[in-house]
Amino acid sequence: MQKLSEVEHIKDNSDYLRGSLNESLDNRITGALFPDDTNLIKFHGSYQQTDRDLDSERKAQKLESLFSFMIRIRVPAGVATPAQWLRMDELSDQYGNGTIKLTTRQAFQLHGIRKRDLKATIRGFNDVLLDSIAGCGDVNRNVMCSPNPNESRVHQAVFEVGKAISDAFTPQTTSYYEIWLDGEQVDETQPFRTTKTEGKDVEPVYGKTYLPRKFKIALAVPPHNDTDIFANDIGLIAIQQDGELIGFNVTAGGGLGMTFGMPETYPRLGDVLGFVSVADTLAVCEAIITTQRDFGNRENRKFSRLKYTVDRMGLDAFKAEVEQRAGVAFGAAQPYEFTHNGDPLGWKTTESGKFNFTLFVEGGRIVDTPQYALRTALRAIAGIHDGDFRLTGNQNLVIGNISPEKRPAIEAIMEKYGLLNTTFNQTAMRQFALACVALNTCSQAFAEAERYLPSLLDKIDGILRQTHLDREPINIRMTGCPNGCARPYLAEIGLVGKSPGYYNLYLGGAHDGSRLNKLYLEMLDEAAILRELTPLLEAFSRERTRGEHFGDFVIRKEIVAATHHGLDFHA
């Protein structure tokens, strides 16, 4: 019998995620939760954090760490209303640190929430039909989708499937509204449903102990792999025929986290299992989830993601188990092509005659600075906008469904606050860059990421301009630790923090997100990063073939080996 990890016992004894959260919240002696509750609150969409910049100072003063909470608010398929945007903006000032983070999973994050303000904050966004249940934790998290549902009938149909998946696999415990909303009756206006039998909670998909580890689902419409399909536990690649969605190629087993010094942990791309119709998609997703529920590793959380379950079972056995559970046989995978995994910035006209504007947001951070009042500008736009806001998987923002009547006023706001210049007057590498939050709040971070990458790019931009590569879309991604939140192992240039100021450099990911990169050099400081990248970029400028991307170039030149499977990542 499998020995269970401590977290498994916490879940088992939690009474469907209640634990002692109410008692923790009522405890005014400390700004922290009871230890077990720090695990349970993740299922409710929050992480307990400290300000690591102040930890040493507070310890010297014999004070406890400055505890606060990050809340991750789900935005299924990435689409939010102007009212929801304005509420997030309001809450970020009222209870947070005055910023909004757009995540790489198309969700909102608020930072700096004190324990005493958690309930008021959650109630605040619940009032506009947003929620944070399953924002974190061992469940299916925010479902990602290509963020342009009105681009075509296919995009709209894929968006509807994404919403249906989100609804189907949201936890159904009543603990969320009991703890955070004081037990108010759940009705048709609530963004999630609950299930009880004989007055007791029931989780029909997850069971009492939920999944062994976090679970991620994404949908994409070729040729845009803007949700990084292959990095997800389940990826759904839309297949269309005569302008209509007919089904999906299903991938399974993607995931990017690993642990330094443990080569038995590795990032992995999802494998294509085959094709299923739209009608069978939910059943197949549920079968994959329950297979992971029943076969996943609950003893060691470092090996508990679906990717390890697939490799341990073997792909053929895993696929057969999914088919048996779903009552669906996979068809042959249908042809498709991805060309890139970034966001096309700027204006685009929709089929309905409205407009989308995709705005570049560096690091996904919505904040006002003396030089750039981004938050103020978006607040002004939300106040008059009659369309929607769409969070992209690349931490950018689509101001969507702009009516012809509203476009002049919205464009005037963009001009006034410099949004157009900031979106267009960047190197293509900067436009494609991703960074995780890292320091000062993430407890896992060894090094900076979001706060540091812009200044590093200032220096790399000079190299790009000298080599005439400033318009070349090279993917660069930085994380403060090897957990992979900004998907660095799919980047053409990946930088993963190893210790303060030092990073491992990875090269050779595919521009379309279909190939892993490979470790090139370890423990580089900024001078070493620039010293190593300069000759590589110069050679790329001189010797690339027509249409060749940087990731393909370093493979062709045998600078690193092509890596298609996680088991080969450390080879």
Which residues carry out catalysis? 72, 141, 214, 216, 436, 442, 481, 485
Those residues with Cβ within 8 angstroms of residue 11's Cβ, 6 or more apart along the chain or in another chain: 17, 39, 40, 138, 208, 209, 210
Coarse DSSP helix, strand, coil percentages of the chain, rounded to the nearest 5 percent: 35, 20, 45
Whole-angstrom Cα distance, residue 477 to residue 488?
Answer: 5
Handedness of CA 47, 109, 69, 435 (dihedral sign): positive
Those residues with Cβ within 8 angstroms of residue 211's Cβ, 6 or more apart along the chain or in another chain: 138, 139, 140, 289, 292, 293, 296
Question: Where do we find the tokens 């986290």?
Answer: 257
Cα 313 to Cα 63, 176, 317: the distances in Å are 49, 35, 6
On whether the CB atoms of residues 524 and 515 are closer than 8 A, the answer is no
**3-state SS, residue 382:** helix
On whether the CB atoms of residues 413 and 381 are closer than 8 A, the answer is yes
Whole-angstrom Cα distance, residue 298 to residue 2?
Answer: 7
What's at 69, amino acid-wise? F
Q: How many CB atoms lie within 10 A of CB 171?
A: 25
What's at 422, amino acid-wise? T
Sheet holding 518-524, edge to edge: 434-435, 476-479, 493-499, 502-507, 518-524
Q: How many CA atoms lie within 13 A of 494 on its CB side?
A: 34
Structure tokens given for 322? 């999914």
Whole-angstrom Cα distance, residue 489 to residue 441?
Answer: 23
Whole-angstrom Cα distance, residue 528 to residue 509?
Answer: 21
Helix and strand numbers (H, E) in the chain are: 18, 23
Cα 48 to Cα 42, 66, 97, 471, 533: the distances in Å are 9, 10, 15, 40, 37
Those residues with Cβ within 8 angstroms of residue 218's Cβ, 6 or more apart along the chain or in another chain: 143, 144, 145, 227, 228, 229, 231, 232, 234, 235, 236, 393
Contacts 24+ apart (CB under 8 A), 492-496: 492/517, 492/549, 492/550, 492/551, 492/554, 493/533, 493/550, 495/453, 495/529
Those residues with Cβ within 8 angstroms of residue 159's Cβ, 6 or more apart along the chain or in another chain: 77, 79, 145, 146, 149
Structure tokens given for 183? 């037990």
Structure tokens given for 510? 């595919």
Whole-angstrom Cα distance, residue 464 to residue 478?
Answer: 18
